[in-house]
Amino acid sequence: MLLDDRELVRRCLEGELSSFDELMQRYGQKVYSLAFHMLGSPDDAADLAQEAFLKVYRALPAFRGEALFSTWLFRIVTNTCLDGRRRAKKRPPVISLSQSAGTGESRLPLEIPDNTNDPQNTYLEHELQEEIQELLRKLPAAQRLVLVMRDLEGYSYEEIAAALGISLGTVKSRLNRARRRLRELYSHREELFGRPLYLKGKGGAGHDL
């Protein structure tokens, strides 16, 4: 029988650590994916995901069940992501030309409409995936987080507002500014390739850059 989050938390607080393992398995991929899109490095994302889950475990006694566990968890995760991004900005940038934008479901979903299986187009898409990840790094952390959560991870406006502790109006304002800034950063690429590029989120909706 699949236990709900609150029951797993209760069991974990009673000393059943396997219940926390279940919570990690339930949310691990989403936490890693969010961390990857914020930091752009698989290794850093894995470290940050571990850090976030450690904070969650230590904070479990403070969970009162007044909100969904997922909302409470992602408030901790998003704060950890913002802290991790601030730390990353203090380090010298290291960019690997051979590194992909991620693996599996974690890949940054940049797509080119009407792409074929032609090797040249495949290579081009790979290059653009790296470029868009680099452009995302140039966005302010708060804007990038909202953009990633909405356009790449598919969270609703309400879920983002709850996780970040901000109003719906602030979510929409940050998202609009982030999209506008990303379009500005990428405008010269649109002119170069002569066709629009777009971010396609998990919900399937594309957003022109």
Question: What's the pLDDT tens digit per position in 165-194?
Answer: 999 999 999 999 999 998 888 775 566 555
* CB neighbour list of residue 83: distance below 8 Å, 6 or more residues apart: none
Local confidence band at 94 (pLDDT 50, 70, 90 cut-offs): very low
**Assessment of whether the complete model's pTM goes beyond 0.85:** no
More reliable by pLDDT, 16 or 199? 16
Strand blocks (E) in the chain: 110-111, 198-200, 206-208
Strand-pair category, 206-208 with 110-111: unpaired
pLDDT in tens, 187-196: 755 665 555 5
Local confidence band at 134 (pLDDT 50, 70, 90 cut-offs): confident
Which of 20-29, 34-43, 80-89, 135-144 is modeled with the greatest confidence? 20-29
* CB neighbour list of residue 120: distance below 8 Å, 6 or more residues apart: none
How far from chain centre, in Å, is Cα 108? 9
**pLDDT for res 155:** 93
Q: Locate the domains of the chain by residue range.
A: 1-94, 101-209
- Asked whether the beta carbons of 136 and 37 are under 8 A apart, the reply is yes
**pLDDT for res 100:** 36
CA distance 206 to 198: 6
* 197 has a pLDDT exceeding 80: no
118-141 mean pLDDT = 70
CA distance 134 to 155: 22
CA distance 60 to 16: 13
Strand-pair category, 198-200 with 110-111: antiparallel
Local confidence band at 39 (pLDDT 50, 70, 90 cut-offs): confident
**pLDDT for res 196:** 53
Class of the CATH domain delimited by 101-209: mainly alpha
Cα 204 to Cα 37, 41, 111, 198, 201, distances in angstroms: 17, 24, 11, 11, 5
Same-fold call for 1-94 versus 101-209 = no
Query: Tokens for 196?
Result: 């629009």
**pLDDT for res 37:** 87
CA distance 185 to 206: 18
| Fold (CATH) for 1-94 | Rna Polymerase Sigma Factor; Chain: A (1.10.1740)
CA distance 72 to 65: 9
Residue 202 neighbours by CB distance under 10 Å: 13
CA distance 131 to 37: 13
